Structure 1
Amino acid sequence: MLDAAMIQKCADPSLTPAIVEQFVQAAGSSDPLAVTVKTGERLILVPKAKTPDEAMGLIRQYVGRAVVRVGITQFPAGVGIKDVSEIKPDLVDACKNLRLGTKMFAKALRIVTKWYGNPTSKDVFPQIFKDAVYAWKTGEFEGASVFHVEDPGASVKMIVPPVVEEDPDTDNEPATSNPKDVEEGSDVGAAEMRIDLSRIGTK
């Protein structure tokens, strides 16, 4: 679905290619035209879009009345806009959707990392990643909208361990870890960033 060239060209540079791949596998779609519509916990069945115009028609039809997720990252349509007319076809362009989605997911990951106290323990990264994916899917983390709260930005540097263990049975469960149980320290981001996260559980 994603090749190295596309990740290099389109994904947010603050995320490693391995994290980008695992994010899309855990929370995204293989179809750039995929449109998912939900009202609360109820999934609304919509026709499968065969063209960008059809996908945009579905998006404009439901944005404002339901939660609409779009494209390979299942980006939340309507975030940051005041009127449906402001929605751009960028959402159904694979490269642009990947850029938008990974930029927003990187923000969610920084928010979760900050909540954990910017830990230096490599062992906690699987939980941070899982919580960030959960936040992406629900739009919330600790009662706040991850799509609308302020980005902690450069003050947070994400640690990435060389090997990640994940429990596939709990991949979609909400966060339960206590930040006090996480090792804290000032030497954040010391771990090597180019790593293999293929062992992270996927949806």
Structure 2
Amino acid sequence: MIDAALIENCADQSLKPAIVERFVEAVGSADPLSVTVRSGDRLILVPKARARVEAMEIIRRHVVNSVVRVGITQYPASFAFNGTIDPEPDILDTCDNLRMGTTMFAKILRIVAKWYGSSLDKDVLPEVFEDAVHAWKTGEFEGAKVFRAQVDAYAETAVDDAVEGTPDEAHGLQTEPVATDENSVGSEIRIDLSRINGPAR
């Protein structure tokens, strides 16, 4: 289980701890030096990095021509690199990786939630999280490249988790309308993802 202090200090503040835990559990790695490389549907075997310098060398070697995922959230490395120059913040740093990963995942949750609409049946809501996790793993949702999608192309969605406790204590979802600025486009919804039941796919 991911450390509570790490979540508090490093995770995107729009995601509450239970959601961060479920996200990392579903998509991440316990090893901050973990590097996964794919070319199309093919997993490319790379040596396990024992030090940061080794992990960075693997990333540099593959980031231009392959899909490279890094660290505890398996963050897509191409969004942190400019060519082969080491990125700042450090995607191999546990805190930086969690911050970047949860910020990106919060955006994906907004995209998925918008697709489902603002009037959501509570029985359907667990699919919002599951579809967001699937989108994180594949990079796509309903034909959209979610990592490159602009947030302002979708109605802003505040992703909340109002229930304290562990993800295993969660068991459902709720939505409520959120007031929008009169000059904004579209409507906002507030999603409580704290009580998601069932494992993410």
**Residue 15 of structure 1 corresponds to which residue in structure 2?**
15
1:48-81 CA-partner distances (Å, limit 9, x unpaired) = 0011111111000100110000000000001165
Three-state SS of the structure 1 residue aligned to 2:123 is helix
Q: Percent identity?
A: 51
Mapped partners of 1:82, 1:6: distance in 2: 27
Task: Give the TM-score normalised by the residue count of structure 1.
Answer: 0.80
Residue 35 to residue 123, structure 1, CA distance change in 2 (3 Å): same
Report which of the two has the higher share of strand: 2
- From the superposition, tell whether residues 11 and 83 of structure 1 become closer, same or farther in structure 2 (CA, over 3 Å): same
Q: Which deviations, in whole Å up to 9, do the C-alpha atoms of 1:18-44 show, x marking residues without a partner?
A: 000000010111110000000001000
Deviation, structure 1 residue 88: 4.0
Q: State the Cα distance separating 1:83 from its structure 2 match.
A: 1.9
Letter in 1 for 2:49: A
The one-letter code matched in structure 2 to 1:163 is H
1:173 corresponds in structure 2 to: none
Partner of 1:90: 90
Deviation at 1:190, TM superposition (A): 7.3
Letter in 2 for 1:30: A
Tell whether the 8 Å contact from 1:90 to 1:96 is kept in structure 2 after alignment.
yes
| CA distance 1:151–1:7, shift in 2 (3 Å) | same
Q: Which amino acid in the other structure matches residue 45 of structure 2?
A: L
Number of equivalenced pairs: 183
Helix, strand or coil at the partner of 2:38: strand
Q: Is the 8 A contact 1:118 1:157 kept in 2?
A: no
Match of 2:171 among 158, 163, 166: 163
Give the aligned residue type for 1:22.
R
In the alignment, which residue of structure 2 is the partner of 1:172?
none
Q: Distance in 2 between matches of 1:65 and 1:80?
A: 15
Please list, as runs of the form range in 1=range in 2, the aligned pairs for 1:108-127 lying within 5 A after superposition: 108-127=108-127
Amino acid at match of 2:69: R
Corresponding residue of 2:142: 142
The answer as to whether partners of 2:114 and 2:155 remain within 8 angstroms in 1 is no
CA distance in 2, matches of 1:190, 1:132: 13
- With over 3 angstroms needed to count, the CA separation of the structure-2 counterparts of 1:200 and 1:19, relative to structure 1, is farther
Q: Which amino acid aligns with 1:56?
A: M
CA-based RMSD of the aligned residues comes to: 2.7
Between the aligned partners of 2:80 and 2:111, the Cα distance in structure 1 is 18
8 A Cα contact 1:110 1:156, kept in partner: yes
Q: Please give the per-residue CA displacement for 1:116-173, whole angstroms capped at 9, x wherever unaligned.
A: 11344333221000100010000111111111111147722347696149xxxxxxxx
Closer/same/farther in 2, CA of residues 119 and 25 from structure 1, 3 Å limit? farther
In 1, Cα distance between equivalents of 2:56 and 2:68 = 11
* Aligned residue number for residue 78 of structure 2: 78
Q: Which of the two has greater helix per residue? A: 1
Aligned equivalent of 2:181: none
